[in-house]
């Protein structure tokens, strides 16, 4: 079963393809890395595959989608509680 993917080699987040439990060791599809999940990650949500410092860009599918509002540990759920989205900035 494929549990998670990274959409682009330049990404710093992965996408959960199943619900990921805290403490799970997840193999990233098509890569040689495993990430230990630090808290639950819902289906289709993002998680960090490397540590991301506050203020650094969140990159998904090769596109900057936001910035970290706090330090994010490897394996931590990435969502509105620790990032600000930039995709729709300036659009109404």
* Closest alpha carbon to 49 in 33, 70, 64, 65: 33
53: three-class secondary structure by DSSP: coil
DSSP 92: -
**Whole-number Å distance between alpha carbons of 89 and 73:** 25
* Closest alpha carbon to 13 in 54, 55, 73, 70: 73
In a structure prediction context, what are the per-residue pLDDT tens digits for the chain, which is 92 residues long?
899 999 999 999 999 999 999 999 999 998 888 999 999 999 999 999 999 999 999 999 999 999 999 999 999 999 999 999 986 655 44
> Which of 3.90.1640.10, 2.30.130.110, 3.40.30.10, 3.40.50.2020 would CATH assign to domain 4-85?
2.30.130.110
Q: What is the pLDDT of residue 1?
A: 87
Given a contact cutoff of 8 angstroms between Cβ atoms, the answer to whether 30 and 9 are in contact is no
**φ, ψ for residue 41 (rounded to 5)?**
-125, 115
User: Which tokens is 40 given?
Assistant: 């639950």
**What's this model's pTM, rounded to 2 decimal places?**
0.90
């Amino acid at each position: 079963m494929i549990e998670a993917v990274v959409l682009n080699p330049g990404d710093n987040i992965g996408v959960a393809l199943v619900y990921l439990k805290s403490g799970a060791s997840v193999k990233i599809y098509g890569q040689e890395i495993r990430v230990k999940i630090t808290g639950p990650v819902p289906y289709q949500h993002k998680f960090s595959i490397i540590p991301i410092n506050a203020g650094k860009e969140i990159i998904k599918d090769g596109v900057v989608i936001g910035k970290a509002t706090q330090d994010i540990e490897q394996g931590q759920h990435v969502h509105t509680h620790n990032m600000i989205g930039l995709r729709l900035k300036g659009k109404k």
